[in-house]
Amino acid sequence: MMAGMEITLNAPLDMHLHLRDGDMLKLVAPLSSDFAGAVIMPNLVPPVTDPGAMLAYSERIAAAMSGEPFSRYMTLFFTAQTEQQLRMAAETPGFFGYKLYPAGITTNSEGGVANLAEADSTLNMMQDMGIPLLVHGESHGFVMDREAEFLAVYRNLATRYPRLRICMEHITTAAALQLLEEFENLCATVTLQHLIITLDDVAGGALQPHLFCKPIAKRPGDRDALLQAALSAHPRLMFGSDSAPHPRCRKEACGCAAGVFTAPLALPRLAELFATHHALDNLQDFVSGNACRIYGLNPVQKQVTLHDTPMQVPTAYRSYGQQVVPMYAGEQLSWSVKR
């Protein structure tokens, strides 16, 4: 790679971000501030299920950002809703959509959906109102097969609700990509880690707890298919970091918490990845253009310039009594944000 390369991104977006709450929020929110905005996940304890709680959470995020311009696209934890409840949500400033978790499938999802048939009325009203549905798409089957088993659910949802915008969150398999070719009302997000690692990187040698996430990383063929789709800026594939901070003591422990923390290094590592594959021209669409077109977004105006100057990743981020270990902790990346 030739020295002196750089790219300026207009309003980069993270379409799937966990910011947690309390002191953890205060630590990690500023570390996402190179993005112009993000879709914020609602699986707090307790989950964000009503517009009042959503507004209060959005205000806490704004306070943690300390005035940094940042579009907060807020989601509500999916439960069966009345028409009045849906209209109240749709009229709430900052509301983006509902996030559906199968009950007990991931962090803080115990109150999720156990029977999709009970959601029929809500989903019908959502498609009439133009409210997006974001889905954590895993079954309760064998861990490597959970996404593949859930694809039938996606197919059923896309067929039964053809006007409902359905986002397959953090896809990890080549088979999920194929569904995007079958249904116009499906789109998807993909994480940084699933473009780079496989299960072998997580558990092929000594266990790497800071690479453990759900959905779990899959096979090389799946990783390669996702990477090719991202590099080519597939029109219905968007970057969503699923950056999921946990205290170090919960990652380096028995019962390791699922989640990879990538927020502060996502843009430099993506620039490095796309430059290595001679695809920098497609990075803008992957990290912003596709999302703005799919959802009609108009984020705050923010430009971020990345250049091929090395970045040293801290061994951990520490503040407010919290300590979070990022992906690539202690390593050097080839690209960085130009300050």
pLDDT 10s digits, 302-315: 999 999 999 999 99
Domain that holds residue 116: 15-261
What are the residue numbers of the active site? Answer: 242
CA 185 to chain centre: 19
CATH number at residue 96: 3.20.20.140
In a domain, 117, yes or no: yes
Q: Are 57 and 44 in contact (CB under 8 A)?
A: yes
Q: Are 245 and 233 in contact (CB under 8 A)?
A: no
Q: Are 261 and 210 in contact (CB under 8 A)?
A: yes
Terminal alpha carbon distance of the chain: 22
Place of tokens 């984020």: 299
In a domain, 337, yes or no: no
In a domain, 281, yes or no: no
pLDDT at 305: 98
In a domain, 270, yes or no: no
pLDDT 10s digits, 209-244: 999 999 999 999 999 999 999 999 999 999 999 999
Q: What share of the chain is helix, strand, coil (3-state, %, to 5)?
A: 40, 20, 45
pLDDT at 118: 83
pLDDT at 2: 43
Query: Where does the pLDDT of residue 1 fall: very low under 50, low under 70, confident under 90, or very high at 90 and above?
Result: very low
Give how many domains the chain has, as a whole number: 1
Q: What token pair was written down for 303? A: 């430009």
In a domain, 266, yes or no: no
pLDDT 10s digits, 119-169: 999 999 999 999 999 999 999 999 999 999 999 999 999 999 999 999 999
Does 316 score more than 70 pLDDT? yes
